[in-house]
């Protein structure tokens, strides 16, 4: 069985190790969702990961849910991301773009013209969000999407994939975790629809399947991955029967032949990895709360093909080398996770 330091074939890529950097929002883009040189430095510093997954990136202005997060829908945004992909590739790394539509986890102040956020159903999330210059504010009730509007959102995921490839990414990841729009469709507490996108697990999986299929249609299956977080309550949602929902989803995805399934932050019971791993034949990436030791054990027992690390990469840009040399890990400063500028971003240096 492999160790963290053995190569992994993922789509047509040969990753130099099985240590993956988790997608992490860092809120360093400008007001227009355009990232600058600092972000290229940040990702290039971490290019020794077998694979980098970018921070959640919005496919349209209506997908925005946080201050200063990047987009992939305007020409300037694409140019900004090109700097990142060039820097990562020059440093010998590989990078996927995570496409994130926040759905109801968005305050009108973040949306064009103060628009109401959109969601599968008009259900208020009990969540607060940060607005620059204002502070923490409670979210408002979203508007339920009309059935006739859904194809245009699926189209946003397709176009975002086209744009990501134009920006030089090695592939794209659908963010179907953490309570954002795709997971709002999957979860019974946030999806009360009576059309073909609601009700049964098959129907609640339809949005995710259509988004993935649209992404695959332009990138090819080998350049598309998905992240899920079964039964994770973050962003105020629950599912009546997550084992059924996620096995239905995994069965449906299985036929697409995508590059990987990334599973993070599940509830402890049931054991979602035991349920999902046999349903997906491609590379299976596990994340959340891992240490070098627990990740090594997951790979050694065949429970995962790759290990995804989040916060450890923030303060340890050379994480694979630190693991290999048994060096101590630096602790990140959580107060600078989402603040503008270089502090807490590009100033953690390799050992």
Ligand X SMILES: Cc1cc2nc3c(=O)[nH]c(=O)nc-3n(C[C@H](O)[C@H](O)[C@H](O)COP(=O)(O)O)c2cc1C
Q: What residues are labeled active site?
A: 180
The DSSP element (H or E) to which 135 belongs, if any, is: strand 135-138
Residue choice 98, 161, 187, 190 for contact with ligand X (CB under 6 A) = 98
Cβ distance to ligand X smaller for residue 84 or 144 = 84
Cβ distance to ligand X smaller for residue 216 or 290 = 290
68 binds ligand X (CB under 6 A): no
Residue choice 309, 323, 345, 348 for contact with ligand X (CB under 6 A) = 309
Q: Residue 212 has which token pair?
A: 């993935």
The count of chain residues that interact with ligand X, using the rule CB under 6 A, is 23
Q: Of 233-292, which residues contact ligand X (CB under 6 A)?
A: 264-265, 287-290
Report the 3 state secondary structure along 279-317.
Answer: HCCCCEEEECCCCHHHHHHHHHCCCCCEEEECHHHHHCC
CB of 200 vs ligand X, minimal distance in Å: 26
| Of 10, 11, 20, nearest in space to 295 by CA | 20
The DSSP element (H or E) to which 88 belongs, if any, is: helix 75-90
**Interface stretch with ligand X, choices 18-26, 114-122, 235-243, 277-285 (CB under 6 A):** 18-26
163 binds ligand X (CB under 6 A): no
CB of 314 vs ligand X, minimal distance in Å: 7
Residue choice 22, 40, 62, 99 for contact with ligand X (CB under 6 A) = 22
| Residue for token pair 């999806």 | 191
CB of 295 vs ligand X, minimal distance in Å: 9
Q: Of 172-191, which residues contact ligand X (CB under 6 A)?
A: 175, 177-178
39 vs 55: CA distance, rounded Å: 10
Whole-angstrom CA distances from 91 to 47, 85, 323 are 6, 10, 19
Residue 100: φ, ψ to 5°: -130, 120
- Opening angle at CA 237, ends 232 and 243, nearest 5: 55
61 binds ligand X (CB under 6 A): no
Residue choice 311, 327, 329, 330 for contact with ligand X (CB under 6 A) = 311
**Interface stretch with ligand X, choices 22-30, 89-97, 108-116, 156-164 (CB under 6 A):** 22-30
CB of 195 vs ligand X, minimal distance in Å: 27
The four Cα atoms 155, 158, 163, 166 give a dihedral, to 10 degrees, of: -150
Evaluate the omega torsion of the peptide bond into residue 270 and state whether it is cis, within 30 degrees of 0: yes
CB of 341 vs ligand X, minimal distance in Å: 15
Report helix angle 242-254 to 201-219, nearest 10. 30
344 binds ligand X (CB under 6 A): no
Binding stretches for ligand X (CB under 6 A): 22-25, 55-56, 98, 100, 175, 177-178, 227, 264-265, 287-290, 309-312, 337
């Amino acid at each position: 069985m492999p160790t963290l330091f053995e190569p992994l074939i993922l789509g047509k890529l040969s990753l130099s190790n099985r240590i993956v950097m988790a997608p992490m929002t860092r809120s360093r883009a400008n007001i227009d969702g355009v990232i600058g040189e600092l972000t290229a430095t940040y990702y290039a510093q971490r290019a020794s990961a077998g694979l980098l997954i970018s921070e959640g990136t919005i496919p349209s202005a209506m997908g925005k849910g946080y201050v200063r997060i990047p987009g992939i829908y305007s020409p300037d945004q694409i140019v900004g991301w090109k700097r990142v992909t060039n820097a990562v590739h020059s440093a010998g790394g590989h990078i996927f773009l995570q496409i994130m539509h926040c759905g109801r986890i968005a305050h009108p102040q973040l949306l064009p013209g103060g628009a109401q956020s959109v969601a599968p159903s008009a259900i208020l999330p009990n969540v607060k969000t940060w607005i620059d210059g204002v502070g923490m504010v409670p979210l408002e009730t979203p508007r339920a999407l009309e059935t006739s509007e859904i194809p245009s959102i699926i189209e946003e995921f397709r176009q975002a994939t086209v744009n990501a490839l134009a920006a030089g990414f090695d592939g794209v990841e659908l963010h179907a975790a953490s309570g954002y729009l795709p997971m709002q469709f999957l979860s019974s507490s946030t999806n009360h629809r009576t059309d073909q996108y609601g009700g049964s697990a098959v129907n609640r999986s339809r949005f995710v399947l259509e988004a993935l299929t649209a992404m695959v249609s332009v990138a090819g299956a080998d350049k598309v991955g998905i992240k899920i977080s079964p039964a994770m309550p973050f962003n105020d949602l629950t599912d009546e029967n997550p084992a059924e929902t996620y096995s239905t989803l995994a069965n449906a995805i299985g036929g697409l032949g995508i590059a990987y399934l990334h599973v993070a932050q599940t509830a402890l019971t049931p054991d979602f990895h035991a349920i999902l791993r046999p349903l997906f034949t491609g590379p299976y990436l596990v994340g959340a709360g891992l240490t070098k030791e627990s990740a090594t054990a997951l790979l050694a027992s065949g429970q995962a093909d790759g290990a995804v690390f989040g916060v450890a990469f923030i303060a340890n840009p050379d994480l694979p080398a630190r693991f290999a040399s048994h060096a101590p890990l630096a602790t990140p400063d959580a107060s600078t996770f989402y603040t503008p500028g270089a502090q807490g971003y590009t100033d953690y240096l390799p050992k």
